[in-house]
Structure 1
Amino acid sequence: MKEAIIALAASAVIAAGLAFNPALAQTSALKGHNSNAPVDVAADRIEVQDRADRAVFSGNVQVRQSDLTLSAARLTVAYSNAGGIQIERLDASGGVTVRSPSETARGQYAIYDLNRRIITMIGDVTLTRGDSNVKGGRLVLDLDSGRAVMDGAGPAGTANQGGRVTGTFTVPQRRY
C-alpha cells in the first residue's frame, strides 16, 4: 500500500506540473519551457482516497516545473486504477495561480480534463502579462487546437456571474 501511495503521489506531481504547462505554452513566452524538467510538489497534507480513486493535496499546495509554478489551497487528483494508475482529472481550488516568468493567471478554480485535454479556470479569472491584463469569469484552453477563450460567464455567486470580459493593454510609447 505504501508503494501505491508513493506511485500515486509521483504520478499526481508529474501530471500537475505537465497539466498546466500546455495551457500557458499557447503564449509566446512559454514556447521554450522545458516540459522534461523535474517536477517538484509541496503541500501540508496528502490524503489518498483509494476506494474513490482520488488523492487530495491540501494546504499551501505548490507545484514547480522549471520556471512554471502552480499554487492553490487544494488539489484533487482523480485517477483510474485499471492496469496501473492513470490520471484523468485535476481540480485545483482556493486562490489558484499559474505563473511563468512573463504571465500570471489567477482564478478561484482550475479544472484540467486530461482525457479531453482542456483546462478551464473559473471565478474572477485574470490573465496578466506585463502591464496588460484580461479579466473574465471563465478561461477555457483547448490544448489540441491551441484555442483560448475568455468569457464573462462565471459560476453562480461569483463577481463575474453574467459579466463581461474586460482588458487593459499597454501600447508602444511614441515620441513625436
Structure 2
Amino acid sequence: MKTFLLAFGATAAAIVALAPAMSQTSALKGHNSNAPVDVAADRIEVQDRADRAIFSGNVVVKQAELTLNAPRLTVAYSNAGGIEIDRIDASGGVTVRSPSETATGQYAIYDIDSRLITLIGGVSLIRGDSRVNGGRLVINLRDGTAVIDGGAPAGVSQHSGRVTGTFTVPQRND
C-alpha cells in the first residue's frame, strides 16, 4: 500500500485565532506534516484511470498525533513518475483530532497545493471545555490562520447561520 501524506497542523492556530480564552500552546505546534500516514478502512477502491482512491467504511487516518475519522475518504492524485496527492475529500461526518483539539463537520476538503483544510456543514471546534460552532472552518496551513463562518454552501445543512462560542474563563477568588 502506498504512503499518503497529510497535514492537519493548523487546528491549533484556529484555536488561537478564535478566542483568547483558548490561546494556550497547542499540541499541534510543530506538528510533523511529513510524517507517514496510516490509513485503515473497510474497503478501498483504486480508480487509476481517474487518478483517485476511495476509502470507505470506518476510515481512520493517522499522522503523528493527528487522527481523522470519516465514513468515506477520496484521495485525488497525479501519477507522473510516482503518486502525488493533490486533494483529499472526506464525507459523512468528519472528525479531526489532536491531543488537545477536535474539529468536526459534515465534509472536509484538504487542498494540498493551496495548503488549506476546509470543514463545512455544522462545524464545531473544541478545546477543553471551550467550543466554537459555525457553518464552515477554513484552516490555512501556510500562515497558521483559521476562520469560522456562520454560513455553509447551498445544499449543506447549516448550524444557525451565525458563529457561536462558549469559552471557559479562569476561576477567580473574590
TM-score, with length taken from structure 1: 0.85
| 8 Å contact from structure 1 (residues 154, 162) kept in 2 | no
Q: CA deviation at 1:61?
A: 0.2
Indicate which of 148, 151, 154 corresponds to 1:153: 151
Indicate which of 73, 78, 83 corresponds to 1:85: 83
Partner residue in 1 for 2:116: 118
**SS in structure 2 opposite 1:83?**
coil
Q: CA deviation at 1:35?
A: 4.3
**SS in structure 2 opposite 1:51?**
helix
Partner residue in 1 for 2:140: 142
Q: CA deviation at 1:40?
A: 2.1
Q: CA deviation at 1:84?
A: 1.9
| 8 Å contact from structure 1 (residues 155, 161) kept in 2 | no
Q: Distance in 1 between matches of 2:165 and 2:97?
A: 19
Partner residue in 2 for 1:3: none
What whole-Å deviation, never above 9, does each CA across 1:71-90 have from its counterpart, x for those lacking one? 00011000111222111000
Partner residue in 1 for 2:54: 56
> How many aligned positions are there?
163
Question: Considering only aligned residues, what root-mean-square deviation do their CA atoms show, in Å?
Answer: 1.8
Residue 61 to residue 106, structure 1, CA distance change in 2 (3 Å) = same
**SS in structure 1 opposite 2:11?**
helix
Query: Larger deviation: 35-44 or 107-116?
Result: 35-44
**SS in structure 2 opposite 1:88?**
strand
Partner residue in 2 for 1:19: 7
Indicate which of 67, 71, 76 corresponds to 1:73: 71
Residue 117 to residue 36, structure 1, CA distance change in 2 (3 Å) = closer
| 8 Å contact from structure 2 (residues 131, 165) kept in 1 | yes
Q: CA deviation at 1:31?
A: 1.1
TM-score, with length taken from structure 2: 0.86
Q: Distance in 1 between matches of 2:120 and 2:70?
A: 13
Unaligned runs of 5+ in 2: 16-24
The structure whose RCO (Cα within 8 Å, separation 6+) is larger is 2
Q: CA deviation at 1:101?
A: 1.4
Partner residue in 2 for 1:168: 166
Q: CA deviation at 1:23?
A: 2.6
Q: CA deviation at 1:68?
A: 1.6
**SS in structure 1 opposite 2:114?**
coil
Query: Larger deviation: 157-166 or 61-70?
Result: 157-166
Q: What letter matches 1:23 in structure 2?
A: A
Unaligned runs of 5+ in 1: 1-5
Q: Distance in 2 between matches of 1:68 and 1:85?
A: 22
Q: What letter matches 1:145 in structure 2?
A: D
